[in-house]
Amino acid sequence: MIRTLALVLSLTAAPLWDHPGYDAEDSHFNPAETVINAGSVGRLATKWQVKLRTADASCSGPSAPVLSGDRLVTTDMLGISAYSPADGSVRWRYDWDDRLDNDTPALAVADGLVIAANGGCNSQSDPDGKLTALDLANGQPRWTLPMDMPIGSVVVDKGIVAISGSSPSDEDAVVAHRVRDGKLLWRKPNHGTTGVSADGVLLIHATDGFGVPTGPTTAVDISTGVTRWSRDGIWKAQAASPRADRFYATDTGSNLGALDAATGAIRWIANGKSSELIAADGQRVYRADGRDVEALHAGTGASLWKTRLTGDAGQPVRAADLLYAGSTVLRAADGGRVGRSYPGRVIVAGGRLYQVNGGVLGAHAR
Residue-averaged pLDDT of the chain:
94
Whole-prediction pTM = 0.94
- The secondary structure of the chain in percent helix, strand, coil, rounded to multiples of 5, reads 0, 50, 50
Residue 287 has pLDDT above 50, yes or no: yes
Determine the pLDDT at residue 339: 80
C-alpha 218/C-alpha 243 separation (Å) is 20
Determine the pLDDT at residue 160: 98
Residue 10 has pLDDT above 70, yes or no: no
pLDDT, tens digit (0-9, with 9 covering 90-100), for 185-198: 999 999 999 989 99
Residue 11 has pLDDT above 70, yes or no: no
C-alpha 9/C-alpha 212 separation (Å) is 44
Q: Which domains occur in the chain, in start order?
A: 5-365 (2.130.10.10)
- The CA-based diameter of the chain, rounded to the nearest angstrom, is 54
Q: Within 10 A of 1 (CB to CB), how many other CB atoms are there?
A: 17
Residue 5 has pLDDT above 60, yes or no: no
Determine the pLDDT at residue 211: 87
**Side chain identity, residue 25:** E
Residue among 220, 250, 214, 256 nearest 235 (CA)? 250
Determine the pLDDT at residue 13: 62
pLDDT, tens digit (0-9, with 9 covering 90-100), for 336-366: 999 889 999 999 999 999 999 989 999 999 9
Residue 4 has pLDDT above 50, yes or no: no
pLDDT, tens digit (0-9, with 9 covering 90-100), for 121-178: 887 767 889 999 999 999 999 999 999 889 999 999 999 999 999 888 788 999 999 9
pLDDT, tens digit (0-9, with 9 covering 90-100), for 66-94: 999 999 999 999 999 999 999 999 999 99
Q: Which of 23-32, 94-103, 142-151: highest mean pLDDT? A: 23-32
The percentage of residues in the chain with a pLDDT greater than 70, rounded to a whole number, is: 96
Buried b (16+ CB within 10 A) or exposed e, 64-94: bbbbbbebbbbbbbbbbbbbebeebeebbeb
State the burial class of residue 156 (Cβ atoms within 10 Å of its Cβ: 0-12, 13-18, 19+): buried
C-alpha 28/C-alpha 16 separation (Å) is 12
C-alpha 342/C-alpha 329 separation (Å) is 7
